[in-house]
Amino acid sequence: MQRNDNESEDCWTMKTFFLQNVSRLAQRSASRKALRRAIWEIVSVLGLGVVMPAILAGSAAKYSDPSDPHEPAFGASTIPVTSSHISADRNGALPTNDGLTLRLSTDLGSVHISPIENGAAPVVRYVVHIETDAKEPAAKRLLDAYVLKAKSTPGGVEIVGALPPQAAREPGAGVQFWVHFEVSVPQGYHVEVKTGAGDVEAEEIGGGAYLATQGGNILAGKIGTHDSRKSPGQPEARLETEGGHIQVQEVNGDLTAFTAGGHIIAGKVSGDASLRSGGGHIRAGQIDGRADLQTDGGNIAVKKAGGFVNVRTGGGQIDFGEVRGSVHAQTGGGGIRVIYVSGPMEVVSNGGSICLTKVAGAVQAATAEGTITAWINPDASATGASVKLSGASQLASGNGDIAVFLPRNLAANIEAIVTAGDASHIKADPAMHLSMEAGQSVGAESVRALAMLNGGGAPLRLKTASGIIHLQFLDSQTALRDSLIREQQARLNQNFSNVALFATSLENTLPSNLPDGTVGTAPQPPSSQENKADWFDSWMRSLERALTGALREDPTEFQKRLSYAPHPSYPTLAQNAGVQGTVKLQVRVTTDGRLEVVKLLEGEPVLADAAISAVKQWRAKPASINGKPVEVISTVTFKFQLQ
Q: What is the pLDDT of residue 233?
A: 60
On average, the pLDDT of the chain sits at: 78
* Cα–Cα distance, 231 to 208 (Å, whole number): 9
Q: What is the mean pLDDT of residues 97-117?
A: 95
| Least-confidence region, from 2-11, 124-133, 305-314, 326-335 | 2-11
| Reduced DSSP (H G I as helix, E B as strand, rest coil) percent helix, strand, coil of the chain, to 5 | 20, 40, 40
In this prediction, residue 625 has a pLDDT band, given cuts at 50, 70 and 90, of: confident
Query: Is residue 287 pLDDT above 50, yes or no?
Result: yes
Q: Is 233 left (phi over 0), alpha (psi -120 to 50) or beta?
A: left
* Cα–Cα distance, 288 to 305 (Å, whole number): 6
> Three-state DSSP class for 278?
coil
* Cα–Cα distance, 385 to 454 (Å, whole number): 10
* Cα–Cα distance, 560 to 562 (Å, whole number): 6
* Cα–Cα distance, 528 to 247 (Å, whole number): 16
> Three-state DSSP class for 283?
strand
The answer to whether the beta carbons of residues 410 and 388 sit under 8 Å apart is yes
Query: Is residue 228 pLDDT above 90, yes or no?
Result: no
Relative to beta strand 562-564, strand 619-620 is antiparallel
Query: Is residue 514 pLDDT above 70, yes or no?
Result: no
Give, in degrees to the nearest 5, the angle at Cα 339 between 485 and 392.
135
Q: What is the mean pLDDT of residues 190-196?
A: 96
Domain ranges for the chain, please list them: 549-640
Q: What is the pLDDT of residue 263?
A: 94
Range among 55-69, 167-181, 323-337 with highest mean pLDDT value = 323-337
User: Which helix (H) or strand (E) segment is 288 a member of?
Assistant: none
Query: Is residue 325 pLDDT above 60, yes or no?
Result: yes
> Three-state DSSP class for 377?
coil
| Least-confidence region, from 50-59, 371-380, 491-500, 629-638 | 50-59
Q: What is the pLDDT of residue 545?
A: 54
Q: What is the mean pLDDT of residues 49-53?
A: 32
* Percentage of residues in the chain having pLDDT higher than 90: 49
The answer to whether the beta carbons of residues 501 and 483 sit under 8 Å apart is no
Query: Is residue 85 pLDDT above 60, yes or no?
Result: yes
| Least-confidence region, from 40-54, 219-233, 235-249, 341-355 | 40-54
Q: Is 581 left (phi over 0), alpha (psi -120 to 50) or beta?
A: left
Q: What is the pLDDT of residue 382?
A: 58
Q: Is the pTM of this model over 0.85?
A: no
- Which are the contacts of 430, defined by CB distance < 8 A and separation ≥ 6? none
Range among 249-258, 355-364, 511-520 with highest mean pLDDT value = 249-258
Q: State pLDDT tens for residues 545-569.
A: 555 556 778 888 899 999 999 999 9
Q: What is the mean pLDDT of residues 383-390?
A: 80
- Torsion, CA 551, CA 552, CA 554, CA 560, rounded to 10: 40
| Least-confidence region, from 27-31, 138-142, 565-569, 625-629 | 27-31
Q: What is the pLDDT of residue 170?
A: 52
Q: Is 383 left (phi over 0), alpha (psi -120 to 50) or beta?
A: alpha
Q: State pLDDT tens for residues 141-184.
A: 889 989 999 999 999 999 999 987 765 555 544 678 899 999 99
Q: What is the pLDDT of residue 522?
A: 35
The answer to whether the beta carbons of residues 379 and 418 sit under 8 Å apart is no
Q: What is the pLDDT of residue 438?
A: 72
Q: What is the pLDDT of residue 623?
A: 85
Query: Is residue 352 pLDDT above 70, yes or no?
Result: yes
CB atoms within 10 A of CB 101: 18
Cα 495 to Cα 219, 300, 331, 487, 604: the distances in Å are: 17, 11, 20, 12, 50
Q: What is the mean pLDDT of residues 352-370?
A: 90
Query: Is residue 46 pLDDT above 80, yes or no?
Result: no
Q: What is the pLDDT of residue 232?
A: 58
In this prediction, residue 511 has a pLDDT band, given cuts at 50, 70 and 90, of: very low
Query: Is residue 24 pLDDT above 80, yes or no?
Result: no
Q: What is the pLDDT of residue 66?
A: 37
Please tell me the CATH code under which domain 549-640 is placed.
3.30.2420.10
* Percentage of residues in the chain having pLDDT higher than 70: 74
Q: What is the pLDDT of residue 495?
A: 61
Query: Is residue 442 pLDDT above 70, yes or no?
Result: no
CB atoms within 10 A of CB 431: 8
Q: What is the pLDDT of residue 434?
A: 92
The answer to whether the beta carbons of residues 142 and 171 sit under 8 Å apart is no
Query: Is residue 499 pLDDT above 50, yes or no?
Result: no
Q: What is the pLDDT of residue 229?
A: 57
Q: What is the mean pLDDT of residues 214-240?
A: 83
Cα 42 to Cα 32, 37, 52, 61, 641: the distances in Å are: 15, 9, 11, 16, 79
Q: What is the pLDDT of residue 626?
A: 67
Query: Is residue 116 pLDDT above 80, yes or no?
Result: yes
Query: Is residue 620 pLDDT above 70, yes or no?
Result: yes
- DSSP string over 58-123: HHHHHT--TT-TTS--TTPPPEE-SSS-EEEEEEEEEE--TT-EEEEEESS-EEEEEEPPTTPPPE
